[in-house]
Structure 1
Amino acid sequence: MLQGLLIILLSMWMVLDQQGLVLLTWFPIMVALVAGLIMGDMHTAMVIGGTFQLMALGVANIGGSSVPNWGLATVVGIYVACRTTHDIEQAKAVALAVGVPVGMLGIQLDVVAKLLNSWVNHRAEKAAQEHKFEKMFRSFWIGPVIFSLSTGLPTALCVIFGSTIVKVLLKAVPVWVTNGLSIAGNMLPVVGIALLLQVMPVKKYMSMLMIGYVFAAYLNVPMLGVSIIGAAIAYYYFTVEMKKSSTPAAVATATDDEEGDDWDE
């Protein structure tokens, strides 16, 4: 019972940490370390965590997009696997069989949590406009609760009922609901990128934005390659600006030295 409770609390802390301090986050290999300590089987936990970490490589929720929650899949997979078998190969198979559906379900739950939190933001904003600041501060606590429940509830169901409940829920949810949530999840990156462009000096560096777009869209350069090119341009620009900022100081120092020599004469 204690292990199950700690596993549920770990799953709830993951998402809160992801939105705040980012000490643990929901990287599979990081949460596997804590889950292994809870379950008392570090070897099995790290093997499962490494397996899900390989699945999570290159996947990031950029711009507020919703991606499979492989951290949640790792926690649930480790718990069920450690409870089911002590054979490492069987444990890995059990973890994948249980964790992958849970991770995919995490996409829908993340979208629902974000939609509900938009209502929380409007509620807090309305309270602020009405100068009801105590109500506004209370509203802000609803957001973390919603996010923690988005991972805590499926983990609790898996702890209590095992993998069966996950398969039943996935079959019970109508297709139009999952399709609608998937479409909403695909739209979130566009909204996130638009918000980022509003706060970035786009007009000043429009040429760089166009160069990056050409590399990605027309030359099919991978995102890592585009990032390296952007980092190289940023480093060059930084060094040039540093030289420009240091030149007036050097000129001023030379001028002062010449004036001092004139006074000596």
Structure 2
Amino acid sequence: MASTVVTGTLVRMQVTLVQLAADLDPAANRELVVDSLRTVDGQDLVVLPEAMMHDFGPPEHDLAAAAEPLDGPFVNLLSQQARRLGSTIVAGMFERTDDLPYNTLVVLGPDGELVTTYRKIHLYDSFGYRESERLRAADIAPVVIPVGDLSLGLMTCYDLRFPELSRALVDAGAEAFVVPAAWVAGEHKVEHWRTLLRARAIENTVWVAAAGQGGSRYSGHSLVADPWGTIVVEAAGGNEQVTAQMTVDAVRRSREVNPSLANRRMQTP
């Protein structure tokens, strides 16, 4: 069972990012998740990519038909795995509605209970892609949750390009951002991914833990960046896992030395 490590005043959260490439078969994706989590042990937080329940597929693929409810097979599987590991698990799915589905992150606690959801605010209508034709954008409702001694703000993929969301998360108390993604591969994309993740860490003095899909369609490069923007661990492009420790003291120290949040003069309404 996972437990946050305390040494004096130093609180360390163990996090594992599980980089996988999902496909269009939900049952196969569930098996892939189970197989990948067999080697995970003693982690406070496990982060899986966006759309891990079912990949986006080609532009004409009907995501409404593939979407599941929050008590469906995918969330039930994550509940079992969270309880088995004693870890908090964050993963992406398509959530069924009576119309277009939501692109949703689910958070399962160590007891297997559904702690919260985050429905993606910014849909990926960019680089020639139209996510809004198959999914619905959520209402603007930033989500911050406590896990151990850290408060985690949730973002999904394209949200990363909107710094106003990260500011809203920090204003709500976030000390780390968790960013599941399916960051489409292409020219400039890996550099955009790294740069934006580091920028969100630096400007908000927070940890950033980002788990992306790998494989040929997506950029991979899941990573953890510290509140100074230093990448402490990074994956390559395939199916793999990376593990890091995130500390509360690193957030506190960076905010003492670099009090940019306290020095703001332009506040978000």
The structure with the largest alpha-carbon Rg is: 1
Q: TM-score by structure 2 length?
A: 0.28
More strand by share: 2
More helix by share: 1
Q: TM-score by structure 1 length?
A: 0.28
